[in-house]
């Protein structure tokens, strides 16, 4: 595979080994920081920033006045860019914390089940609904000014816990295939099918083939799969293929046509049409947009 020469900047965060988290509260008129990734987990809140474009992995969305996103994917690229935002009163609160904040024997306790599940889902980026934002707003609003370090940690853990209670309503942002994240399902049948699709996405995949694999009829399997994943089978396969295609657009110099066939699409015009429908831009525009935001390390 041809590898792209310019890479996403790898941020070295100010988080110290002796601190539980690092917090930065900024009042600003524009977003200028480039596309980046980092090993630390990040909770990012923005206020009065309607019109900003938030990019997390292969997700690009225009945000409203309030936005709260948790990212725990260590290599997941992200950026908030100015786009159409005209506000001169932008407020941004960024909290970064290490993945080992919750050492294994701690995070695996029953009382942390919801936080553990949320951190796992956030490997693809997790965008919280307004109800969750309003629940933690008073805590976020005062966290940076908390003078007592111990109470600041308790307040931060409370924020994470309150958000975890709403994580089922939160939306994952990046596709798993773009984020290079393994898929885990509570259903062994669904897990088996997802692993097969992930390994054979370049090939033709038939419904009856997958149904036979888990000992179900095609009709029963279709209903079962949608119930468990929230997507019908064809949309699920397309999303997996598009995630891999988006990753190749970012990481390689392969042509759009080469990527199309490499990722299991057998028609270039169809690939372009589906990509534009799902990503709201053409494959070429997607690649160009990423390259504009890249920086050499």
Q: Are residues 280 and 188 in the same domain?
A: yes
| Rounded mean pLDDT, 201-215 | 95
Of 128-137, 180-189, 256-265, the one with minimum mean pLDDT is: 180-189
Same domain for 52 and 137? yes
Q: Judge whether residue 37 has pLDDT over 60.
A: yes
Predicted confidence band of residue 1 (pLDDT cuts 50, 70, 90): very low
Q: What percent of the chain clears pLDDT 70, i.e. is strictly above it?
A: 94
Q: For residue 106, name the pLDDT band (cuts at 50, 70, 90).
A: confident
> What total of structural domains would you count in the chain?
2
Q: Which domain holds residue 83?
A: 9-172
Same domain, 190 and 95: no
Is the pLDDT confidence value at 49 over 80? yes
What percent of the chain stands above pLDDT 90? 74
Give the pLDDT score at 289.
85
Specify whether 111 is located in the same domain as 76: yes
Pair (29, 89) in one structural domain: yes
The pLDDT assigned to 47 comes to 97
Same domain, 139 and 285: no
Do the domain assignments include residue 1?
Answer: no
- The confidence band for 54, taking pLDDT boundaries of 50, 70 and 90, is very high
Residue with tokens 């534009």: 276
Domain termination residue (choose one: 137, 172, 207): 172
Q: In this structure, are 133 and 160 located in the same domain?
A: yes
57/152 same-domain check = yes
The confidence score (pLDDT) of residue 7 equals 56
Q: What number is the average pLDDT over the span 28-36? A: 91
The domain that holds 164 is classified in CATH as 2.60.120.10
Of 129, 157, 172, which closes a domain?
172
Domain end, chosen from 172, 187, 206, is at 172
């Amino acid at each position: 595979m041809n590898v792209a020469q310019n890479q996403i900047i790898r941020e070295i965060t100010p988080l110290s080994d002796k601190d539980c988290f690092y917090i930065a509260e900024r009042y600003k008129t524009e977003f200028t920081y480039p596309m980046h990734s980092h090993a630390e987990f990040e909770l990012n809140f923005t206020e009065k920033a309607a019109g900003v474009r938030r990019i997390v992995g292969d997700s690009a969305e225009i945000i409203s006045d309030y936005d709260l996103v948790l990212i725990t994917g260590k290599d997941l690229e992200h950026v908030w860019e100015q786009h159409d935002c005209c506000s001169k009163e932008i407020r941004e609160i960024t909290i970064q914390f290490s993945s080992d904040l919750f050492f294994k024997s701690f995070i695996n306790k029953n009382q942390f089940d919801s936080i553990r599940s949320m951190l796992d889902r956030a490997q693809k980026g997790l965008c919280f609904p307004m109800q969750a934002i309003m629940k933690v707003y008073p805590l976020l609003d005062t966290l940076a000014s908390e003078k007592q370090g111990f109470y600041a940690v308790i307040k931060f853990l409370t924020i994470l816990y309150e958000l975890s209670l709403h994580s089922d309503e939160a939306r994952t942002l990046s596709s798993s295939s773009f984020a290079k994240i393994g898929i885990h399902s509570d259903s062994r049948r669904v897990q088996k099918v997802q692993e097969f699709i992930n390994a054979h996405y370049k090939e033709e995949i038939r419904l009856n083939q997958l149904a036979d694999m888990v000992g179900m009829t095609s009709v029963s399997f279709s209903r079962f799969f949608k119930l468990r994943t929230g997507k019908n089978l064809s949309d699920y396969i397309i999303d997996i293929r598009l995630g891999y295609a988006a990753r190749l657009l970012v990481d390689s110099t392969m042509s759009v046509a080469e990527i199309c066939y490499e990722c299991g699409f057998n028609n270039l015009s169809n690939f372009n049409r589906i990509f534009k429908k799902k990503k709201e831009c053409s494959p070429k525009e997607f690649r160009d947009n990423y390259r504009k935001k890249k920086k050499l390390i």
